[in-house]
Each structure stands twice: as structure tokens, then as C-alpha cells.
């Protein structure tokens, strides 16, 4: 199966196999460049297929990180996943990007990725399972909300960038690991679960302002 | 694949229309479209993020509709073409990444193409091969360009463009001023039918003797829009009714007059007898009629595709892709970028 995540600056792609009792990542690529998802992703997939000696028509499923993440990059992964799903008539499964990061944490942990505009996408995990849903907030507003969770560690690029404000030591894990993404979808793949719509987690409304009343075209002296 | 009659699928997502077209050579087989125009209406213009979200949702359903309409499968397709630019960066990227995914999954060649050149190429689906050289006038909410086309597969030569608002943008702004909905082209065209185009003399941007030296083939519609606003406001302040139909007709006449005048001037100075008009504003009834009438005086043939092919669509992208395949042009590499400011000198990437 093809594994994709473009919800962080790490443009991530992998090929993985699902076994009855486990899974294996055959090949993977992650290039960190927050502005070039559209240029990097397709060549990476092409390289992975060549490296693993896999033909596209051999793929049995697509698993994609559905965010949250910066919109433009996030859509690159999701539309690529949708194209593969449609062209090969195979199922698609979505995985929360924060959940993939959270899966690799122990105890109470904060997962925070960079949402740009001085905000983070975040959620709290207990031994890898989510305790809260994903949200987007300023780091200074996240910090007080962590108190009740007894969070001890934090992972993700946002946690590293705002470690001071969050008041938590940031672990080394910055971006989602393909094997974690596979793990979160493995049971659905094994069960042959129905294909899912890959709905992006935007968590923000589009910036748009309705036009205000007409500005006068005549200058004051002309009125 | 048949290189003279290639089966090409084209994807367009540069603005608010998600288009998927399929052509075989110069024959149109399918032209499926999903538009987010209604979602932008209350903002009075296209909101990029709203458009990008809509493209992601619409792409696969639109692909299915196009394939059904053409009665072909993805496996039958010889090549995939996609608008690489110019346009809204985030919107373009959805189409480009989606097309790359399709090309990879189906192991087909991909062509990233220029949206403006595609507006010219689409006419071949209606009127057959384009005589070379030709002059093209492309007018829409996003572009106003005058081009010389010698060989569509090699590049086109820009002669002039708008220095401020696009022609379609002027229609949108004047429509809003007159209390008409977005997009403004169709309601103004309708209102103008019952108005007098000579009732009010609005300015013709960049047509003065000095402009004709420096900006001979360029356009400016910002002054015209302001002039209409001032005229309407003066009437309102005087407590007089605004003759909406006359304002619409006179404004439309001023826009069309400049567009046609400059396009015919380009044909005559370059000794070219074919004028192609494309883009959403080409659907304007006055523009077509005026161009045909004035071009006839100089023996110039005017080609305007039907309205559905003038506005943004996937068929135009497929049409240009078909030209590139037939000319044996090398496909694009998978790492090409969506280029919001793609120059006209580049037909493909
Ligand atoms: Zn256009």
C-alpha cells in the first residue's frame, strides 16, 4: 500500500505491506520543505515504486494523513491519494496526522505541529491514544489547558518551536513516522473496510471578508 | 498511442472552475465542469482558499463525469495535461498534484501547460486547426492579453496586457455598483440589451496619442470603472434615477470598443488576418458582434468558440495537450511546479 502525509513540512511517502499480524515499511522518503510539497511528492512516489520494484497496479490501498496541517501542503497529499484511489480503484483510509505522532509517545504527551501564524495544531495523548481532539491555538493559550492532563513530554515541530511558551521539554520526534501511519490503518486494511472519503482537517475557516458598503467615488469637494 | 489523434485528458483548476475535458485530436469528447462561483458570490470576487477547497472536493467526481461522458477509461488515455499556470497558486496546485497522481498511477505521460495558451487552443475544437500566424485576444476576470500566435506548441508572443484591472474584473465591479450579482458579465450583457450604448461617453483607457506610443496594445480599465462610479454617484446625489440599462450599455460599449480597436490594430500592424477571441468576456454578445463587424472591414476573420469553451474548462487544457503530443513535444517531469505567474512564452513546463 501507498502511505502519504503532507500535513507538516515533511513531505512523507512510503510503501508498506500489511501482514495478518503486523506490517512492514518497504521503502520511505521524507523531505523537509514546507513550500514544495507539490514539486517533491510525486517524484518521491516514483522513486519509491522503482526502489521497491512495485508497479502502481500492484497497490492494494492508499493511507493518507488527513491533517490538521497547513492547507496548501495538506491538499497535495490528499489529492494525490484521491487520484491513486480513483485510478487504481482501490480503497483509501485516513489517519490523523497528530495521531501518528502521538502513537509514538509514552505517558501523557502533547503533540503540537506548526500551524503557522504563530499557532499550533495540538492534541493530548495518553500512552499513544488521544485524550483530546485536534485543535488550533496560540501556544500561550495551549499551555494553561495542559495543566489538567499532567502532561510530561511534547513532540512535534510546534512543540520544539514553542517549547519555552509551552513550558515542556520537546522530544526529538518532529514529523509523523510512516510506520505509525500504517499501524493506525492496518486493521482497516486487513478487514477490507470500506474506502473512506479523505476529508482534510482544516480546523480554520477560509480567510474571506464580505465587501463593505460602496466607497464614495466623488471627492468631498465634488459632492 | 496515435500521435496524430491522441486521446488526451485535461485538468483545469487555476481559478474557481474545476474542469476535466477529454479530446481525441481536435475532437471534443467530454467537457465536465464543477464551479465554486456561487460560494464566492457574496464576497464579490473569487476567494482563493474557498476555491482551493472546492477543487479538492470536486476533482475526482468531475474526472468520473468526464470519463463517462467520453465513454473511455483512464487506461485508454494517451496523455494527461494540466494547467500549470498562471492562476491562483493554491488552486493550481490541487489540479497539478492530482494530475501527477493520475499520471503516476496510470503510468501515462503528463504535460503541465499554460492556461492562456490553452484558451487559444480550445478554438481548434470548434473551428479546426488555427491558421498561423494569428492574433489572440484573451479577456476574462483574470486576464486581458493580446498575443501573437505563430506556433501554439512552441510559445506565443505577448503584445500587450492590462496594466491594472482585467476586463472581467471591470464588469464585476460595475455590476456591483449597479446592484447586480457576481460575476458581473452576464447581468451587464442582459441589461445592456435594453440600453443605449451611446447614451454616456465613458473614457477609453490607453487610447490617447501618447498611450499609443508606449502602451499601444496594453489595456487599462481602472479609470473606466472609476468614471462609471462617479457618474452613478453624481446622479444619486442629485436625486435623479440611475438609468441602469444605459449605464450598462455605455460601459460595455466602452470596454468592447477598446478591446476590438486594439485587437484589430494588432492584426493590421502585423499583417495578420485571423483574430481568435477567448476567455469569459468573449461570451459577451456585444464584443462578438462588434469584433465581427469591424474585422470584416479589413478582411480579418474572427474566431470565437462557443461560450462554454470561452470560460475556463478542462477541454481547453486537453486541446493544448493534444497539440503538444501531436508535435512530439517531450512530456513534463514529475517535479514541475504550479507557477502562478507562468509567462506566456512558456506553453508547457
Ligand atoms: Zn482563463
Residues in chain B: 349
pLDDT band for A198, please (50, 70, 90 cuts).
very high
Question: Please, what is the Cα angle at B329 between B324 and B335, to 5 degrees?
Answer: 100
Same-domain check for residues B184 and B249: yes
B334 found inside a domain: no
Please report where in the chains the cell 511517502 appears, as a residue: A13
Asked whether residue B339 is domain-assigned, the answer is: no
Statement to judge: residues B205 and B283 lie in one domain = yes
Q: CA angle, B165 as apex, B164 and B168 as ends, to 5°? A: 155
Please give the average per-residue pLDDT across A143-169, as a whole number.
95
CB count, 10 Å around CB of A206? 15
| Residues of A in Cβ contact (< 8 Å) with B83 | none
B85 is in an annotated binding site: no
Tell me, yes or no, whether B134 and B118 share the same domain: no
| Chain-chain contact of A79 with B101 (C-beta, under 8 angstroms) | yes
Identify each DSSP E strand in chain B by its residue range.
7-12, 17-24, 27-35, 79-85, 110-114, 134-139, 144-151, 155-161, 274-278, 301-303
SS (H, E, C) A138-160: CHHHHHHHHHHHCCCEEECHHHH
B119 assigned ligand-binding residue: yes
Q: What is the pLDDT of residues B62-89, one digit of tens each?
A: 999 999 999 999 999 999 999 999 999 9
Residues B253 and B318 in one domain: no
Question: According to the annotation, is B265 in a ligand binding site?
Answer: no
Residues B111, B194 within the same domain: no
Please indicate, yes or no, whether residues B105 and B211 belong to a single structural domain of this protein: no
Residues A95 and A66: beta-carbon distance below 8 Å: yes
In angstroms, what CA-CA distances link B3 with B10, B26, B79, B323? 16, 12, 10, 9
Facing residues of B34 across strands? B18
Contact residues, B window 202-221, toward A, CB-based 8 Å cutoff: none
Confidence tier at A118 by pLDDT (50, 70, 90): very high
The pair phi, psi for residue B217, each rounded to 5°, is -110, 15
User: Is B160 in the same domain as B21?
Assistant: no
**Residue B206, domain member (yes or no):** yes
Classify residue B61 as exposed, middle or buried by CB count within 10 Å of its CB (0-12, 13-18, 19+).
middle
Using a CB–CB cutoff of 8 Å, tell me whether B56 touches chain A: yes
- Residue B348: inside a domain: no
Q: Is residue B345 one of the residues assigned to a domain? A: no
Q: Give chain B positions within 8 Å (CB) of A37.
A: 93, 97
* Chain B residues lying within 8 Å of A56, measured CB to CB: 104-107
- For residues B187 and B147, membership in a common domain is answered with yes
SS3 content of chain B, % helix, strand, coil (to 5): 45, 20, 35
**Nearest Cα residue in chain B from A222:** B234
pLDDT, position B277: 97
Q: Is position B347 within any domain?
A: no
Q: Indicate whether B331 belongs to any domain.
A: no
pLDDT per residue over A61-70, tens digit each? 999 999 999 9
Three cell numbers written together for B333: 517531469
CA–centroid distance, residue B164 to ligand 1 (Å): 17
- B282 within some domain: yes
Same domain, B117 and B164: no
Can you give the pLDDT at residue A223? 67
Is the domain of B99 the same as that of B220? Answer: no
Nearest C-alpha of chain B: how many angstroms from A87? Answer: 6
CATH of the domain at B87: 3.30.420.40
Name the domain count of chain B.
2
pLDDT means per 10 residues, chain B with 349 residues, are 84 97 97 93 89 97 98 98 97 98 98 96 96 95 92 93 94 95 94 97 92 92 95 95 97 97 97 96 94 96 96 97 96 97 90
- Picking from A39, A49, A206, the nearest residue to B335 by CB comes out as A39
Q: Are residues B208 and B245 in the same domain?
A: yes
**Interface A:B, Cβ pairs < 8 A:** 128
**Which pLDDT score, from 0 to 100, does residue A214 have?**
66
What pLDDT score does B212 carry?
Answer: 85
What DSSP designation does A92 have? E
Q: Distance (Å) from the C-alpha of residue A85 to the closest C-alpha of chain B?
A: 9
Residue range of the domain that includes B254 = 130-307
Provide the ipTM.
0.95
B94 to A75: CB separation less than 8 angstroms, yes or no? yes
A206 touches chain B (CB under 8 A): yes
Same domain, B134 and B117: no
Amino acid at each position: 500500500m501507498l502511505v502519504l502525509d503532507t500535513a507538516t513540512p515533511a513531505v512523507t511517502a512510503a510503501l508498506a505491506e500489511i501482514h495478518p499480524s503486523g506490517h512492514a515499511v518497504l521503502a520511505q522518503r521524507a523531505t523537509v520543505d514546507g513550500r514544495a510539497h507539490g514539486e517533491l511528492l510525486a517524484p518521491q512516489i516514483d522513486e519509491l515504486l522503482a526502489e521497491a520494484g512495485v508497479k502502481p497496479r500492484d497497490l492494494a490501498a492508499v493511507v493518507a494523513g488527513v491533517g490538521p496541517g497547513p492547507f496548501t501542503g495538506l491538499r497535495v497529499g490528499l489529492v494525490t491519494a484521491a487520484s491513486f484511489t480513483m485510478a487504481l480503484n482501490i480503497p483509501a483510509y485516513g489517519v490523523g496526522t497528530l495521531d501518528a505522532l502521538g502513537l509514538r509517545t509514552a505517558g501523557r504527551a502533547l503533540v503540537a505541529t506548526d500551524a503557522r501564524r504563530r499557532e499550533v495544531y495540538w492534541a493530548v495523548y495518553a500512552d499513544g491514544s488521544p485524550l483530546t481532539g485536534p485543535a488550533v491555538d496560540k501556544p500561550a493559550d495551549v499551555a494553561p489547558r495542559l495543566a489538567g492532563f499532567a502532561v510530561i513530554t511534547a513532540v512535534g515541530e510546534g512543540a520544539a518551536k514553542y517549547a519555552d511558551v509551552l513550558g515542556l521539554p520537546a522530544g526529538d520526534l518532529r514529523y509523523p513516522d510512516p510506520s505509525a501511519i500504517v499501524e493506525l490503518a492496518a486493521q482497516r486494511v486487513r478487514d477490507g473496510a470500506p474506502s473512506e472519503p479523505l476529508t482534510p482537517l482544516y480546523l480554520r475557516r477560509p480567510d474571506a471578508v464580505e465587501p463593505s458598503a460602496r466607497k464614495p467615488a466623488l471627492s468631498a469637494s465634488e459632492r | 498511442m496515435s500521435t496524430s489523434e491522441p486521446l488526451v485528458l485535461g485538468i483545469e483548476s487555476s481559478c474557481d472552475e474545476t474542469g476535466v475535458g477529454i479530446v481525441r485530436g481536435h475532437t471534443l469528447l467530454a467537457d465536465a465542469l464543477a464551479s465554486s462561483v456561487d460560494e464566492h458570490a457574496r464576497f464579490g470576487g473569487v476567494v482563493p482558499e474557498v476555491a482551493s477547497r472546492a477543487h479538492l472536493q470536486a476533482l475526482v467526481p468531475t474526472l468520473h463525469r468526464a470519463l463517462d461522458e467520453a465513454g473511455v477509461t483512464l487506461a485508454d488515455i494517451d496523455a494527461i495535461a494540466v494547467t500549470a499556470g498562471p492562476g491562483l497558486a493554491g488552486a493550481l496546485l490541487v489540479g497539478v498534484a492530482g494530475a501527477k497522481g493520475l499520471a503516476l498511477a496510470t503510468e501515462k505521460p503528463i504535460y503541465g501547460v499554460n492556461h492562456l495558451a490553452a484558451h487559444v487552443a480550445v478554438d481548434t475544437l470548434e473551428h479546426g486547426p488555427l491558421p498561423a500566424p494569428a492574433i489572440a485576444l484573451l479577456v476574462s476576470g483574470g486576464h486581458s492579453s493580446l498575443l501573437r500566435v505563430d506556433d501554439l506548441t512552441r510559445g506565443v508572443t505577448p503584445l500587450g496586457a492590462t496594466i491594472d484591472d482585467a476586463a472581467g474584473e471591470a464588469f464585476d465591479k460595475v455590476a456591483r455598483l449597479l446592484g447586480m450579482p457576481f460575476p458581473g458579465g452576464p447581468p451587464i450583457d442582459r441589461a445592456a440589451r435594453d440600453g443605449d450604448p451611446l447614451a454616456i461617453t465613458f473614457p477609453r483607457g490607453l487610447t490617447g496619442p501618447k498611450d499609443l506610443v508606449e502602451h499601444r496594445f496594453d489595456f487599462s480599465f481602472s479609470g473606466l470603472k472609476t468614471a462609471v462610479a462617479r457618474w452613478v454617484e453624481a446622479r444619486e446625489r442629485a436625486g435623479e434615477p440611475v438609468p441602469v440599462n444605459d449605464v450598462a450599455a455605455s460601459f460595455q460599449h466602452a470596454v468592447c470598443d477598446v478591446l476590438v480597436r486594439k485587437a484589430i490594430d494588432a492584426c493590421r500592424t502585423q499583417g495578420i488576418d485571423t483574430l481568435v477571441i477567448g476567455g469569459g468576456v468573449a461570451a459577451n454578445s456585444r464584443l462578438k458582434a462588434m469584433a465581427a463587424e469591424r474585422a470584416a472591414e479589413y478582411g480579418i476573420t474572427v474566431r470565437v468558440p462557443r461560450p462554454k469553451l470561452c470560460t475556463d474548462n478542462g477541454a481547453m487544457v486537453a486541446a493544448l495537450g493534444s497539440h503538444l503530443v501531436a508535435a512530439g513535444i517531450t512530456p513534463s517531469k514529475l517535479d514541475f511546479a504550479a507557477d502562478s505567474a507562468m509567462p506566456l512564452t512558456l506553453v508547457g513546463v
